[in-house]
Structure 1
């Protein structure tokens, strides 16, 4: 027999739906102050296509009809390579989600001169519109150029309240 807390959890999950997504943001970063970067970027509606063949693995983005998402974030560096991050992703029509890093992200030199390669894991911290009360995780895998150009790949799984259900 399920405990009272297990039954409540099952009812809560029944009122949730999960959404898995990938996006590629492109934009620019700016140094706000020593040890603090801000970034703004946009991502079009798209599909990430992965092909596996005799030559290995290949990936590309296929653009789809639809709107853009907008990323705004702040990276606060703990040392030369580690940072904490907070930000928002806006999807239009008052729909936006908030996130914060779950631990220290990293940004380090890579094999391509003029680029640094970074990674971070984020926890979704609610939001507005359809993202009110949202939870989930997003991983960010990004390239940052010496001139501030940013390409940021996101892969996420979100849990959203179904229409007609509340927190």
Structure 2
């Protein structure tokens, strides 16, 4: 089931957002039941953080089909991977990350990008890798990881289409 969520009555949007991101970043793939496959021997997830002038969002795609969007201003979408079109786009995005993984340096920094920036985080069985770049460079194909950026946005588009369909 696809769900939209909103923050609890006593929580602040930024706290919920940071908590959801932290959950993904601290996930142990083995404890979550994720293991290497022929299709994804190294990658088990992607976290893409984007910061805009008025806030930001984080996109999550995991190898078990988990697909979510978290908004720093509150709310988000979870459970999208239960829909075939979202699950298919998720798998494509993770295969793109796998294909470009050698272009991601190892990283442990969890900070959000500055306004206009994006951090692409490849979640691998050997640890995290990440690249920060201007959103315009990624979007306009001026960055080596533009394919990853566009694949993540393709999944986000499927999520939005579900939302619009009700």
Same fold at TM > 0.5: no
Scaled by the length of structure 1, what TM-score is found?
0.26
Question: Which one has a larger percent strand, Structure 1 or Structure 2?
Answer: 1
Bigger radius of gyration? 1
* Larger helix percent: 2
